[in-house]
Structure 1
């Protein structure tokens, strides 16, 4: 029996996922060594990222060949803007940051590169390729959440973040996208699957880079 396509995708990023789990940002969430400054940088950049991620999901909804997928991605786009915003704003409240202050924060270089890539795929590529590009954000966060939940965190802020992505509610969302991906590629010729694999690997790399950028408090090197 042939392996599920999504299983093949995950296997292709095994080194990237291992590097993510071993990154000092991720390890620091559970051992308490991550500076709150780096975590704040991450949360602010993630809030900015989610605006464009939601736009990508809205395009996925528009391009969906099946009504249930259209409904699903439209709902996910709304969730990215409303539910995820609530999580971020709970952190901003702890830090005394207003939504206006967050909005005025420039996108870090890695964030801008990642979201620009997502939007380019969204607007110029077929539906199934867009699935390959957005899937890592869903899936890697779920796997990281589960891995970190086993360890826990001494920092209540970090534990709150971990709980979100380790939750069964979030797991259900990810499973929806995995199922849609399997169905979308079921009848595709092999040549049509290659770009999906490429986008999946590329945005998985960007996931590592995003956490690394936060750990380094990345800024523009000139200007």
Structure 2
């Protein structure tokens, strides 16, 4: 069995709690409050910025072929992702200044610190910490794609796309080049838990007291 499949199997029911969280179900049904979605998009924008910094840091440990493939895949599919992201920000009146001036909620603060920590440990460790986000969003995107709410279906459009699927395949392919070890389960499992927390905090629109990442 591939390493990624073992990791997913080992987290058990946590994976289903992540990809079928109440936040996700409400997006699919079209009943998620717009303010919760707006809150989520701001926090996600902040997360992605740190995640990309972590990727660049971790890629210094990577075999050049793997780093090149993953980075080129992301760059080659960046336009579609940015098009959807900017469309949603515009529709919800979210400015870059608002994103910058909004604090990190506790889940996002912890999750981004977790990712950046593993970006300093090694390539396979970072891949294990990063994979739940990228892989899970592909499943979530396909699940939410037929939402009756135009904003939610538009959001899911990119994550359910072939372009995004290529990103996931490149990341999982790199992760699967390493043999499974219990050490990889630790960052993978923690990231799944952080993803669940990310949905929960967005659903409740928790306070955002953390303004700086150190």
Greater CA drift, 53-62 or 94-103: 94-103
Question: Per the alignment, in what secondary structure is the counterpart of residue 176 of structure 2?
Answer: helix
Partner in structure 2 of residue 141 of structure 1: 137
Distance 2:27 2:166 in 1: 24
Listed as ranges, the gaps of 5+ residues in structure 1 are: none
Report the CA distance shift for 1:5/1:118 in structure 2 as closer, same or farther (over 3 A).
same
- Does the alignment pair 1:207 with 2:195? yes
Instruction: Indicate the structure with greater helix content.
Output: 1
Q: Contact 2:119–2:126 at 8 Å: present in 1 too? A: yes
> C-alpha distance in 1, partners of 2:105/2:113?
12
Q: Distance in 2 between matches of 1:84 and 1:115?
A: 20
TM-score w.r.t. length of structure 1: 0.86
Which of 117, 126, 149 is equivalent to 2:114?
117
In the TM superposition, what is the alpha-carbon distance from 1:72 to its structure 2 partner?
2.9
Task: Choose the corresponding residue for 2:165, options 171, 188, 196.
Answer: 171
Question: In the TM superposition, what are the counterparts of 1:7-156 in structure 2 within 5 Å?
Answer: 7-64=5-62, 66-75=63-72, 84-123=81-120, 125-149=121-145, 152-156=146-150
| Backbone CA RMSD of aligned residues | 2.2
For 2:65 and 2:202, locate their aligned partners in 1 and report how far apart those are by CA, in whole Å: 36
- Confirm or deny: 8 A CA contact 1:57 1:76 kept in the other structure: no
Q: 1:31-57, CA deviations, whole angstroms, 9 ceiling, x for partnerless residues?
A: 111000000000110000000000111
- Residue 36 of structure 2 aligns to a residue whose secondary structure is helix
The alignment partner of 1:52 has SS state of helix
Q: Distance in 2 between matches of 1:81 and 1:120?
A: 25
- Note the alpha carbon deviations across 1:157-187, whole angstroms, 9 max, x for none: 000111111111111110111111111x14x
Unaligned runs of 5+ in 2: none
Number of the residue aligned with 1:197: 185
What do residues 100-137 of structure 1 show as CA deviations (whole Å, max 9, x unaligned)? 122111111110110011111111x1221111111111
Structure 2 CA distance for aligned equivalents of residues 43 and 208 of structure 1: 15
CA distance in 2 between counterparts of 1:79 and 1:112 reads: 29
The structure having more radius of gyration, on CA atoms, is 1
- Of 5, 9, 12, 2:3 maps to 5
In structure 2, C-alpha distance between the alignment counterparts of 1:58 and 1:199, rounded to whole Å = 18
